[in-house]
Structure 1
Amino acid sequence: MARTKLTNATIHTPKRKGQLPTKICAVCGRPFEWRKKWARCWDEVRYCSERCRRESRRSQA
């Protein structure tokens, strides 16, 4: 049995996919789920994708 390195992401992440936290995208309004790469900055994540992030900047200008 392989051991995994315990990090904040693995300690605070739910074990099942259905238990992941979700947010609503500020641009398209679609729900999106937590990703491991957002573990450290989940509170600041506002957009579901790079495309939505670019669209938000385009609409501000």
Structure 2
Amino acid sequence: MRRKGDLPTKTCATCQRPFAWRKKWAKTWEEVRYCSDRCRRERRSNASTEATNQ
């Protein structure tokens, strides 16, 4: 059994906080960029808002 501290981590592209590997991300860990659905949604809305403000 692995300890939580031994799991790989990444930094969220939106909030810049570290997050750890989760079993549901086992097949797509290389593609995971956000720690939560909330961060994923905020990133999209911020990108579209910035594009319209320019």
- Which range, TM-score by smaller chain? 0.7 to 0.9
Q: Which amino acid aligns with 2:11?
A: I
Rg comparison, structure with higher value: 1
Consecutive unaligned residues in structure 2, runs of 5 or more? 49-54
Match 1:44 to one of 11, 31, 48: 31
- TM-score by length of structure 1 reads 0.74
| Alignment coverage as a number of residue pairs | 48
Identical-residue share of aligned pairs (%): 67
Given the two structures, how large is their TM-score scaled by the length of structure 2?
A: 0.83
Gaps of 5+ in 1: 1-13
Structure with the larger helix share: 2
Please list every run of at least 4 consecutive aligned residues from structure 1 whose deviation after the TM superposition is greater than 2 angstroms. none
Superposed CA RMSD: 1.1
